[in-house]
Amino acid sequence: MPELRKDPVLGRWIIIAKERRKRPTDFLVEKSQVLGGFCPLCPGNEDFTPPEVLAYRGGCQSRSNQSDWQVRVVPNKYPALIIEGELGKAAEGLYDRMNGIGAHEVIIESPGHNDQLWNQPVEHIALVLRVYRDRLLDLQKDSRFRYVMIFKNYGKAAGASLEHSHSQLIALPVLPRMITNELDGGKSYFRYKDRCLFCDIIRQEIEQDVRVVCQNESFITISPFAPRTPFEMWVLPKRHTSGYCHEDDTELLKLARILSESLRRLDGCISNVPYNFVLHTQPLRSGELEHFHWHFEIVPKLTSIAGFEWGSGFYINPMPPEEATQYLRESLDS
Amino acid sequence: MPELRKDPVLGRWIIIAKERRKRPTDFLVEKSQVLGGFCPLCPGNEDFTPPEVLAYRGGCQSRSNQSDWQVRVVPNKYPALIIEGELGKAAEGLYDRMNGIGAHEVIIESPGHNDQLWNQPVEHIALVLRVYRDRLLDLQKDSRFRYVMIFKNYGKAAGASLEHSHSQLIALPVLPRMITNELDGGKSYFRYKDRCLFCDIIRQEIEQDVRVVCQNESFITISPFAPRTPFEMWVLPKRHTSGYCHEDDTELLKLARILSESLRRLDGCISNVPYNFVLHTQPLRSGELEHFHWHFEIVPKLTSIAGFEWGSGFYINPMPPEEATQYLRESLDS
């Protein structure tokens, strides 16, 4: 029998349609690849991007636009938002608008054109994770911004338009709804229980041990109870903390380790599957929050998922997360 | 300069990235077609579907599984939810689940395999719209159900798996979040203004006349102020009413006229564009609501829209709705 499950954070019901279940190898993976050819993100082509915002050379922060970088951050050449100007908040009758002020940056994760994030040494992945934090801390100084979205689109079906491994960052003068909804969910739970909902989820997941993909001393990766797609994963810090920006280099090395393992396990299940990962962290102007817990959400984009789901927000998932977990646990052993 | 706009119902901010704008002909439309071959929905193949739930023959309701139907409703052969059983609501620690009880039906819109909804005579489209209503009224009698989602996926990229023109219906024992969020938005506004938000939107749109795609004496199609995708359209009744199920045959004929015109205008802009349309109506167990207003949302699925948007709920739309409206207005005249 199919099952209805409620996401405890958002209150979103999804259908687990077990009768439609497939083995990982049965999922169709979009064949169309991102266009190759000349790559503006490769070392030596620094002139083809706007000047660096930040780069790491030999493990240290720098800014010089030479080719010896390990991780490099540049403004998006075709930004969705622009950095200069006033917010210009205004009404249009009952509608609300403001100028598209914000930052839109590209984080080039590695000099090697064919490197993939999950195949890098963990020390290198940790560098990328430090860049996320350092950009968050820097953009926090701009009082116009309220949130920084950090995300990665891997594969054309997931929205990537360049082949070279990269993530993106969008600083916004408003809160995206995905965050306000999670804050609301966390707040309702805290009001009722005086505990962080995410901390309770982690406790229950460790105890039940049927949806834990992997863990180390500081972090845990789970298949969420009510996942939108097969092989959706959440990566969370085990201790309570609402802001990614507070993580130090030691913790980020442990995060690099679990993120690498989680993505390799995913790739082991469905080779080359397109996915999006999105960092969910506290708003820039809020201090440490008792009712929120930062985490990454990794959402594979499988072509067998109907467009309808994305349009209506109502998901039908053919893969119970307990089975997905089993596949993910076994995927690196075979 | 790009612009940030807030959806007045959901409070969702989106980016209108005018700098990335394209003409309708520049949008990439997914080439991959739905598989042809043997069609279980064609007349004569009635044995290949589960027995009819409802059919219209010669404009009247009937039930007989003969081949002379005009519109036919059958249970989905691979249902996401099943009709027989108890809800079995249960907790699993802090999580909530229930059995996947519900109805999942296919509404075959026409006997002709190659007919498209928007190319049918309006009298025939009205029949399809009457079927939507009649199924709503029938399923309302089942006290286990709280909502009926009626939707259409057109084109493979939008989730269609059969070529023959059809819509779907899912009866649910829970409210989908798209509806609870809209009800919440409508309620907040009503508490503040003592007016229906959607009625106010219609009034303002008629007055501004920059986002009205088309209208007749009873219905209006607008490009919403903060659309998720280029050419998104909402079709609303002009008078206040929260339940689609209350519309009579005369009104449904007028609705058929505007729906047909709206879809033909869309097809005139981007030929054969995949889209989803979803009926948003009041929950089954609520009476007529002051703060909600039923409507259809038509959301084209363009490949140039990144997968990221669908995953994070944060949209970047390269087409200002005022320009989309202009294209839609002109598309049937050329």
CA distance A56 to A114: 19
Work out the minimum CA distance from A99 to partner chain B, whole angstroms.
5
Work out the minimum CA distance from A62 to partner chain B, whole angstroms.
30
Please list every residue in chain B whose beta carbon sits closer than 8 Å to the beta carbon of residue A207. 93
**Minimum CA–CA partner of A310 in chain B:** B310
The owner of tokens 């490197």 is: A115
- The domains found in chain A, sorted by start residue, are 3-84+94-330 (3.30.428.10)
Please tell me the predicted confidence (pLDDT) of residue B62: 78
**Each residue's pLDDT tens digit, B158-187:** 878 888 999 999 999 999 988 999 999 999
Please tell me the predicted confidence (pLDDT) of residue B307: 60
Q: Which residues contact B111 (CB under 8 A, 6 or more apart)?
A: B42, B43, B67, B69, B70
User: Helix (H, G, I), strand (E, B), or coil: what is residue B4?
Assistant: strand
Which of A104, A124, A166, A280 is catalytic? The answer is: A166
Work out the minimum CA distance from A4 to partner chain B, whole angstroms.
5
Please tell me the predicted confidence (pLDDT) of residue A98: 94
Please tell me the predicted confidence (pLDDT) of residue A27: 75
Residue B274 has pLDDT above 70, yes or no: yes
> Alpha carbon of A119 to those of A40, A227, B141: distances in Å?
22, 26, 56
CB atoms within 10 A of CB A56: 19
The partner residue sitting opposite A313, judged by closest CB among B158, B177, B309, is B177
CA distance B323 to B15: 15
**Each residue's pLDDT tens digit, B129-161:** 999 999 999 999 999 999 999 999 998 878 788
CA distance A315 to A306: 9
Could you tell me the pLDDT band of residue B32, with boundaries at 50, 70 and 90?
A: low
DSSP string, A236-262: EESS--S-GGG--HHHHHHHHHHHHHH
Please tell me the predicted confidence (pLDDT) of residue A33: 62
Partner-chain contact B96 A6, CB within 8 Å: yes
Q: A307 in contact with B at a CB cutoff of 8 Å?
A: yes
B39 is in an annotated binding site: yes
Q: B272 in contact with A at a CB cutoff of 8 Å?
A: no
Share of chain B above pLDDT 90, in %: 72
Could you tell me the pLDDT band of residue A23, with boundaries at 50, 70 and 90?
A: confident
Please list every residue in chain A whose beta carbon sits closer than 8 Å to the beta carbon of residue B100. 1-4, 15-17
Mean of the per-residue pLDDT values for chain A? 91
Please list every residue in chain A whose beta carbon sits closer than 8 Å to the beta carbon of residue B149. 312, 314
The partner residues of A212 in beta bridges, in order of sequence, read: A222
- Read off the pLDDT of each residue in A13-22 and give the average, rounded to a whole number: 81
**Each residue's pLDDT tens digit, A47-101:** 999 999 999 998 787 777 788 899 999 999 888 899 999 999 999 999 999 999 9
User: Helix (H, G, I), strand (E, B), or coil: what is residue A119?
Assistant: helix
Please list every residue in chain A whose beta carbon sits closer than 8 Å to the beta carbon of residue B314. 149, 176-178
Q: B81 in contact with A at a CB cutoff of 8 Å?
A: yes
Residue A241 has pLDDT above 90, yes or no: yes
Question: One-letter amino acid identity for B267?
Answer: D
Please report the beta strands in chain A, taking only residues with DSSP state E, as ranges in sequence order: 3-6, 13-16, 54-57, 60-62, 71-75, 90-92, 95-99, 103-108, 147-154, 166-172, 212-215, 219-222, 233-237, 275-280, 295-300, 316-317
Work out the minimum CA distance from B159 to partner chain A, whole angstroms.
4
> Exposed, middle or buried: residue A187 (CB in 10 Å: 0-12, 13-18, 19+)?
middle
Q: B278 in contact with A at a CB cutoff of 8 Å?
A: yes
Residue A310 has pLDDT above 70, yes or no: no
Partner-chain contact B208 A93, CB within 8 Å: yes
Please tell me the predicted confidence (pLDDT) of residue B60: 80
What ipTM describes this predicted complex? Answer: 0.90
